[in-house]
Structure 1
Amino acid sequence: MEAESRKLLLLAPVLLCCFVAISDAQSQHIGVNYGEVADNLPPPDATARLLKSTAITKLRLYGVDAGLIRALAGTGVSLVLGVANGDIPAIAADPNAATGWLAANVLPFLPATTISVVAVGNEVLESGDAALAAALLPAMQNLRAAAGDGPAAGIKFSTVNTMAVLAQSDPPSAGAFRPEAAAQLQGILGFLSRTGAPFMVNPYPYFAYQSDPRPDTLAFCLFHPNAGRLDAGSKITYTNMFDAQVDAVKSALGRAGYGAVDIVVAETGWPTRGDPTEQGATVDNARAYVSNLVAHLRSGAGTPLMPGKPVDTYLFALYDEDLKPGPASERAFGLYHTDLTMAYDAGLTSSSPGSGGGSTATTPTTTPSKGSGWCVASAGATDAQLQTDLDYACSQVGVDCGAIQPGGACFQPNTVRAHAAYAMNQLYQAAGSHPWNCDFRQSATLTSTNPSKHAISPFNFNRSPLIFTFH
């Protein structure tokens, strides 16, 4: 008995190593956009408290909101401020106007508030205004010169573009900028390269799905299980649209001679509702896209062309904007409603929102809460189903199946069910431990019993669809 007890004690750490929960990675690459085309936004202090209750570390403003900037002073949330398109011509024409803009909109908030980037204009190169596009680079140069070696010296100056700045994005390896924008882009990219500023772009898999509304495209866009899409040029098989779109921009930068310029995703998101003609605009799809994107960013995997280098990404948007024109989806991209309740759980809540006035964010009550229990294989799941789940889970970012390879700490017991349990639970944990991350086409289920206490513990993860389309 004594020898057997020692054997079990030695085995226990192995089982524990196989089934311990995986903690969330740092969220330093995750930001959110603060749109203000609304008449019902919460007070700045309430927004600051909300942000502090989440894992969001970056906020992008489309202009300069002094009240909100002051409310965020000392919170550690870094800001991207925006220069309005209408201010660009004056700043481009007169260095004194650039100095005045910084004096009014940046310097009063330093050093209490961290300002990382000033985005000069929004989607200027795609606006069709040739005169405004021509003024963009001089405005950026004048602002950078005005910053000099003073308090604003560390701020980067860039501009935000849509994916329409590309003439080609399908497949990603063929990414190239539009010839019409080439003259302005060469100068702008040279400026970004010299100053260490990022190229900022707005990839939206949602719009790619709108142009190709097939089920496999939806899966590719939502990071759900899919067969992947082969880029014949690079021989890379992509498993999600976000990586494909970002890598198309990476290829375009390389083709233009500026492959070393960093990329920042200035906007990306998914609407919770839309007009009858807007397929896919639902709460479930928004939750799937954003929560899976957050897990992807936290994994640190990067993209196929930038492995191990996560891209700073600003989700669109913090709140719904009730005054935005256009289709219904334009007013429904918010992570939160303006009463401070969640539109859906994106896996960004680091703790319950701070106390002190205001409403608090809520989570759905129809399913187990985030982080509850372990994801295990269903009793009725067949070995064939579990082998498919095992193969899928081990191919995903944030999952390392080395431990269940021969010689690995969790190789025994050497069964499909045990190995699938390990891999599926790893994926469940890496994706944020949300109930919807434990489904696997109903071959998995959540349990409150710690599987570490058992020799075989079927862990599983939600087969959240991973889809891809080159647009």
Structure 2
Amino acid sequence: MVLEKWFRSILLLVGIFTNALGAFVGVNIGTDVSNMPSASDVVAMLKANQITHIRLYDANNHILEALSNSGIEVIVGLTNEEVLGIGESPSAAAAWVNENVASYMPSTNITAIAVGSEVLTSIPNAAPVLVTAMNYLHKALVASNLNYQVKVSTPQSMDIIPKPFPPSTATFNSSWNSTLYQVLQFLKNTNSYYMLNAYPYYGYTNGNGIFPIDYALFQPLASVKQIVDPNTLFQYNSMFDAMVDATYYSIDALNFSGIPVVVTEAGWPWLGGANEPDATIENAETFNSNLIRRVLNDSGPPSQPNTPINTYIYELFNEDKRTGPVSEKNWGIFFTNESAVYPLSLSSSNRITGNSSVVFCVAKDNADSDKLQEGLNWACGQGHANCNAIQAGQPCYNPDTVESHASYAYNDYYQNMRSVGGTCDFQGTATTTTNDPSYGSCIYTGSSNLTTGGGITPTPAFGPVSPEGGSMKLPVSELQSLIAATFLALILL
């Protein structure tokens, strides 16, 4: 009994610690790759690039072994070919969990099992046993005392939502309602999450020109002023947000709530055939760079603003062995020689460190307050500035003035976007300065004055640095909470 209470207390601490670190961007690793690097080289590469969350499409034993003691969080995959067998046999599920999960834990940090990949649209004949397979796997985890650490879910594509826009009227394809109701009931009962594969690339290329490409790439819209859901009046600045919200509304239509959506696949191909003109290296770099910035804003879509959209980029390497069009083989962000396909910032902003001369973007003194408010709204909306620090209770909220809040938002946008043409203007309400505007525990993006005094610590795009990869700093308030939780856990033993 004492050991059980200790185990539960540790799990509580893990949950508190993980939540304190905010949203993350992970990476999918497919293995239909010629000249695939060794598992140990792959893991070394993940560490070097501060990638702390990955998804595997199977339970690759070499990679799982190499991940031992790395701290990297792993979603292991049950392949589509395995779903039928597992769904027909609880003993087969128990054997699979013992072989592919329990035998690697706790040294390998497995956090979830993805049951198949887009089962409803790719192998619909397995739909009748999908939830049965999920239940069998969960029961096997319970038997191994791993159900608190390892969640079970099943990734589905946007194809099961026939009309995703406007999001507020989106519903799942009614032919799958019975199965999806069971899936959602399972996720709710086990405190798991909905796995969504969301591809604005396909939303755009298959959309017959309904939406501009800038909307798919998280870029400011030039051809139309804004895209608004006419029922809720929510403004959608990206197709990605609209897809995630369409999923939340579809879940709600089946009378479920409180089930978070995690995007298990999102990306953009960097090379395509003659009939795939939008699969370019420029578009891929733009999409993934903006995706990282969007996710690390630590906010949700308009209908769920306080639920971050944790996301896994598709994918680490080009899977050149895949069949299909040219684009199918060219989604990777790295070549197998470990060089990057295109520059991809691994941090939430292009912070300047060392002895560089830092230029900040701030609101002009006596600027028109209405224009400042417009600029602030744009920066925190379409501009995708990280405006968490100026929310009530956060370190940059006071002084609670539009000028102060605009300065913080303007600067965050400028530091992130100036390398790709972003300017410090905002209808003439902004100006640059070499004077660091940071004060107290409010630390501006770009400042070298990063302390533990409550400011915001830079976060790698793919998740916080694990202890093995370097020190991991938390704001004092969060650190105090963690210490308090640890003390409480010890008392409960």
Pair in the same fold by TM > 0.5: yes
Whichever residue aligns with residue 77 of structure 1, its letter is I
Q: CA deviation at 1:451?
A: 4.4
SS of residue paired to 1:342:
coil
Q: CA deviation at 1:237?
A: 1.1
Whichever residue aligns with residue 100 of structure 2, its letter is N
Aligned partner of 2:183 in structure 1 is 188
Aligned partner of 2:386 in structure 1 is 398
Q: For 1:241-281, what per-residue CA distance to the aligned partner results, in whole angstroms no more than 9, with x for missing partners?
A: 11100000000000011122121111000111111221321
How many angstroms apart in 2 are the aligned matches of 1:239 and 1:312?
18
Q: CA deviation at 1:308?
A: 2.2
SS of residue paired to 1:59:
strand
CA contact (8 A) 2:102 2:144 kept: no
How many angstroms apart in 1 are the aligned matches of 2:124 and 2:445?
54
> For structure 1, which runs of at least 5 residues remain unmatched after alignment?
1-24, 351-367, 378-382, 454-458, 462-471
Q: How does 1:174-185 map to 2 (within 5 A)?
A: 174-185=169-180
Match of 2:161 among 162, 166, 186: 166
Aligned partner of 1:374 in structure 2 is 359
SS of residue paired to 1:236:
coil
Aligned partner of 1:257 in structure 2 is 255
Q: TM-score, normalised by structure 1?
A: 0.75
**Is 1:80 matched with 2:65?**
no
Q: TM-score, normalised by structure 2?
A: 0.72
Give the percent of matched residue pairs that are identical in Structure 1 and Structure 2. Answer: 31
Q: CA deviation at 1:191?
A: 1.0
Q: For 1:153-204, what per-residue CA distance to the aligned partner results, in whole angstroms no more than 9, with x for missing partners?
A: 2211111110011132110111100011112111111111111111111111
Change (3 A) 1:29 1:408: closer
CA contact (8 A) 1:37 1:324 kept: yes
Query: Aligned residues, how many?
Result: 400
Q: CA deviation at 1:93?
A: 1.4
Q: CA deviation at 1:212?
A: 3.6
Aligned partner of 1:289 in structure 2 is 287
CA contact (8 A) 2:29 2:316 kept: yes
Q: For 1:13-59, what per-residue CA distance to the aligned partner results, in whole angstroms no more than 9, with x for missing partners?
A: xxxxxxxxxxxx95652111001111221111111111112342210
Q: For 1:74-121, what per-residue CA distance to the aligned partner results, in whole angstroms no more than 9, with x for missing partners?
A: 121111111111112221111111111112111110110111110111
Q: CA deviation at 1:151?
A: 4.1
Change (3 A) 1:215 1:250: closer
How many angstroms apart in 2 are the aligned matches of 1:89 and 1:401?
50
Change (3 A) 1:136 1:401: closer
CA contact (8 A) 1:393 1:423 kept: yes
How many angstroms apart in 1 are the aligned matches of 2:391 and 2:106?
46
> For structure 2, which runs of at least 5 residues remain unmatched after alignment?
1-19, 363-367, 438-443, 447-493
Q: CA RMSD in A?
A: 3.6
Aligned partner of 2:469 in structure 1 is none
How many angstroms apart in 2 are the aligned matches of 1:42 and 1:267?
22
How many angstroms apart in 2 are the aligned matches of 1:114 and 1:43?
20
**Is 1:65 matched with 2:22?**
no
Higher relative contact order (CA 8 A, sep 6+): 1
CA contact (8 A) 1:28 1:57 kept: no
Aligned partner of 2:419 in structure 1 is 435
SS of residue paired to 1:192:
helix
**Is 1:205 matched with 2:200?**
yes
SS of residue paired to 1:237:
coil
Higher strand share: 1
**Is 1:147 matched with 2:134?**
no
Q: CA deviation at 1:440?
A: 7.4
How many angstroms apart in 1 are the aligned matches of 2:78 and 2:248?
25
CA contact (8 A) 1:27 1:56 kept: no
CA contact (8 A) 1:265 1:312 kept: yes
Change (3 A) 1:443 1:87: same
CA contact (8 A) 2:23 2:298 kept: no
Aligned partner of 1:7 in structure 2 is none
CA contact (8 A) 2:360 2:433 kept: no
Whichever residue aligns with residue 422 of structure 2, its letter is C
Aligned partner of 1:344 in structure 2 is 342
**Is 1:231 matched with 2:229?**
yes
CA contact (8 A) 2:360 2:436 kept: no
